[in-house]
Structure 1
Amino acid sequence: MRIEPSRLDGVVTFVPQPHPDERGWFTRTFDAEIFDQWRGVAGAAAGFIQDSQSRSARGVLRGMHGRRAPGEAKLVRCARGAVHDVLVDARPESPTFGQHEAFLLDDSTFRHLYVPPGMLHGFQALTDWADVCYRIDRAHDPADDLAVSWQDPTLAIEWPLHPPIVSARDASAGSWAELLTRIR
């Protein structure tokens, strides 16, 4: 498994190495030892307490979501189809605060995206169906939910498919400026 750094502070992708043969292929989708070595902390992988999965039709956009301090770390991968995945650094102390980066997650490269606590996360399904799997390090508490509009002009995130299909919650999410008053 390769580890590739991102330009956002603390964000990496884990790239599994599939083993193909005449039957198909096999790949390891998570390795606690490799994760612990990368973090430099024995047992760090044991901090993940929940696995979740979503299925989205082509054009569905979910985001931009985050959690109040202390935040939530997660490993994200697309097990079926492909998604345009976006992170926004919402950690005021970070050297990449306010910046965003997009990643292609799909079922042929098997990339896993490590999302550190304090990031906003969202994605748009690029294929007829996309299954996104999340490995999360803390229980969900709706009182800690944060959201910023996927079309906030300050962030200026470019989404590949227009018009996107969004939930009522995401359609009414606040602005980046509003979020800043809540996290500083």
Structure 2
Amino acid sequence: MIYEKLEIPDVVLLTPKVFGDERGFFMETFRQSEFERHCGNYTFVQDNHSLSTHGILRGLHYQHDKPQGKLVRVTRGEVFDVAVDLRQSSPTFGQWVGVTLSAENRQLLWLPPGFAHAFYVTSQEAEFQYKCTDYYNPGDEHCIRWDDPTLAIEWPMMEKNEPLVSEKDQAGKTFKESLKFS
């Protein structure tokens, strides 16, 4: 596995070594000891799997009282995945980073606790899987609008239409209004 720190150094892109032949392929997607060495000492307690169609945008989501670190990947299709630093003590506070994750590139993205997360589906469909460092807590979920002018995220929209978002996500707060981390 290759671990690459991105523009926000606590966000890490993981590229697995893939071994393949005419029968198919094999790759290791997670090894606790290597993950700890490159990303920190975290334990995952919950795995999630979602399916979304083209043009769907989910996020920017986070939990404040019980923040979740997330190790995310796409097993079918392609998404543009975004992490926003909400840690006020961080030198990258208020900055975002985005990468394309796909079944083809097989990359994973690590977002530590203290980040908002979103993804936009650029393929016909995308299956998105992620490991979390804390349990989902519906009473603690927060959302920042995907089109927040302060963040000015450069989404790779394929059409001139706005993405499809849930009513809950459409009602998200602005970055300025949202809860932040110390």
2:36: which partner in 1? 36
Give the secondary structure class of the aligned counterpart of 1:120: strand
Give 1:38 deviation, angstroms.
1.8
- Tell me the equivalent position of 1:64: 60
Cα displacement (A) at 1:107: 0.6
Deviation of 1:70 (Å): 4.6
- Supply the AA of the counterpart residue of 2:54: R
Alignment of 1:1-184 (within 5 A): 1-39=1-39, 41=41, 44=42, 47-161=43-157, 162-180=161-179, 183=181
Higher helix share: 1
Please give the secondary structure, in 2, of the residue aligned with 1:36: helix
1:69–1:118 contact (8 Å) kept in structure 2: no
Does structure 2 conserve the Cα–Cα contact (< 8 Å) formed by 1:148 and 1:176?
yes
Q: How many residues align?
A: 179
The answer (yes or no) to whether the contact 1:9–1:95 under 8 Å persists in 2 is no
CA distance in 2, matches of 1:39, 1:124: 25
1:4-38 Cα distance to aligned partner (Å, 9 max, x none): 11111311011101111011211111111211222
Amino acid at match of 2:170: A
Over the residues paired in the alignment, what is the CA RMSD in angstroms? Answer: 1.5
Deviation at 1:62, TM superposition (A): 0.2
Runs of 4+ in structure 1 off by over 6 angstroms are none
Write the letter of the residue equivalent to 1:159: W
Task: Give the Cα–Cα distance (whole angstroms) in 2 for the partners of residues 31 and 15 of structure 1.
Answer: 13
Query: What percentage of residue pairs aligned between the two structures are identical?
Result: 39
SS at match of 1:179: coil
Give CA-to-partner distance per residue, 1:68-102, whole Å, 9 cap, x none: 04511110001111000011100111110000111
Q: Provide the TM-score with structure 2 as the length reference.
A: 0.93
Gap change, CA 1:22 and 1:121, over 3 Å in 2: same
Amino acid at match of 1:98: G
Provide the TM-score with structure 1 as the length reference. 0.92
List gaps (5 residues or longer) in structure 1: none
